[in-house]
Amino acid sequence: MEERVIHLSETLALQTVEGFLTTEELTRLRKAMDAELDATGWKPRFQADVVEAPPLAQEILQEATARALPAIRRALPSINSAASWGYTELGADQEVPTHLDGIPDPGAVHCRLGRIGVVLDDADTGGEFYIETTSSNTVWAGETTQEHCNFPTGTLLSHHLPHAPGPDTRQHDGAPEWLTAAQRTRWITDARAGTAVAYGAQVIHGVNPVRSGTLRKFVTDLLT
């Protein structure tokens, strides 16, 4: 069987999955996360802090991902699975500044080709997920893929600012200069709780500031 070669367009794709989580699954996930947070006392150390979701939540989310793969593959046909899911929450005046995750290892066997997020509970106001598009050259790193890679030789690679793990990870306090220098057009989603948004790893995105209430959501990488 011929190996699939990933086209640049997949890294810039966008796909929603309405009903990614059922009403029953949302209820179970809320109970699981409330119990986990009560037991561990976890609180975000900074905006966009992400903690690994507990086993029951992982099970529910991975089952939902498997169900949704046919829809996700319409836009990202090279996706085969999702990584372990993380949980995050944003309170009033917190946001996820504009960034893009990028593809730091385009030759990996299970290459991170995209991201997916699903809201558990909406903020009262604010906290909308958005993507941005631009024709600016500043978001591109000036690097291209090499031979023996998942992508055709010469595929353009953007800068990257991923959600890296670590006790002092504060990569999303603000947008980097190479991004703020670009003129961009913002597209705001109204995806509510239970609707997943999947997007390529070279898609510019962020979350608007929460004005009131708390936004709770799950996020993870999409892998080839």
The domain ranges of the chain are: 8-223
Tell me the pTM: 0.92
Strand partners, 116: 198, 220
- Using one digit for the tens of pLDDT, what is the confidence trace for 104-123? 899 998 999 999 999 999 99
- Dist. CA 164–CA 112, nearest whole Å: 13
- Dist. CA 118–CA 220, nearest whole Å: 9
Strand partners, 114: 200, 222
CB 17 within 8 A of CB 195: yes
Residue 130's nearest CA partner among 203, 183, 179 is: 203
Residue 106's nearest CA partner among 197, 8, 206 is: 8
- Dist. CA 132–CA 96, nearest whole Å: 13
- pLDDT at res. 173: 67
CATH class of segment(s) 8-223: mainly beta
Query: What sign for the dihedral angle of Cα 45, 49, 54, 56?
Result: positive
Q: Coil, strand or helix: which one is 66?
A: helix
- Using one digit for the tens of pLDDT, what is the confidence trace for 198-219? 999 999 999 999 999 999 999 9
CB 219 within 8 A of CB 86: yes
- Dist. CA 15–CA 129, nearest whole Å: 13
Q: Which range, 46-50, 179-183, 187-191, is most confident?
A: 187-191
- Using one digit for the tens of pLDDT, what is the confidence trace for 76-97? 999 999 999 999 999 999 999 9
- Dist. CA 150–CA 75, nearest whole Å: 17
CB 116 within 8 A of CB 203: no
